[in-house]
Amino acid sequence: MKPRLAGWLIEILENLRRLIVHTDQLLHKATEQIEAQAQDQPKGFGRLTHQILHKEVLDWHRFNNRRQVASLTGMCPGVRASGLKSVSGSITKHGNPRIRRTLVELAWRAVRYQPRYGPVLRWQAVLKQRNNPGARKKAVVAIGRRLAIDIWRLETGRTTMEKLQLV
């Protein structure tokens, strides 16, 4: 025998279902509006991703060099140095976490859709290693850091998509 739900519970669940459907429609509409504001992007980069980065960074022209851009992402390795010895550690995470998450997602898409992009070519041997997921993640973080720098270069007119080998 199949258990039946109480009438009051069915009413609450039906109201929640209507709220979820309405919220989903609003979210879909807002996403379309945000994507409509974006300009054309390289294959796999996505209009919504572009807008997320644009809204988080606000003004790409406020950076004077690539180190400042990389620092904003928090994807720079920590360095331990003593005398002549220097060891790179894990990333500092002292930047914007939304930008960092977006860049990691974008880096995975760049690996898939932009195989001729310089950083993807550089880390290609590591990315092909299926038995070492930690190394693959480190490579993707490095690609993401470089993507942030190259997006800054594109947004400020310092380079073009053709020079970066982006389709």
pLDDT tens-digit profile of 61-73?
999 999 999 889 9
Exposure pattern of 66-102 as b/e (b: 16+ CB <10 Å)?
beebbbbbbbbeeeeeeeeeeeeeebeeebbeebbeb
- Across the chain, where does the E strand assignment appear? 77-82, 85-91
pLDDT at residue 96 tops 80? yes
Predicted pLDDT of residue 29: 92
Token pair for 66: 């690539």
* pTM of the shown model: 0.76
Bridge partners (DSSP) listed for residue 80: 87
Backbone φ and ψ for 86, nearest 5 degrees, come out as -140, 130
Q: What's the number of CA atoms in the CB half-sphere (13 Å) around residue 50?
A: 18
Range from 15-19, 72-76, 139-143 carrying the lowest mean pLDDT: 72-76
Q: Residue 92's closest CA among 70, 107, 62? A: 70
Predicted pLDDT of residue 22: 97
The SS3 of residue 93 is coil
Separation CA 88–CA 103 (nearest Å):
21
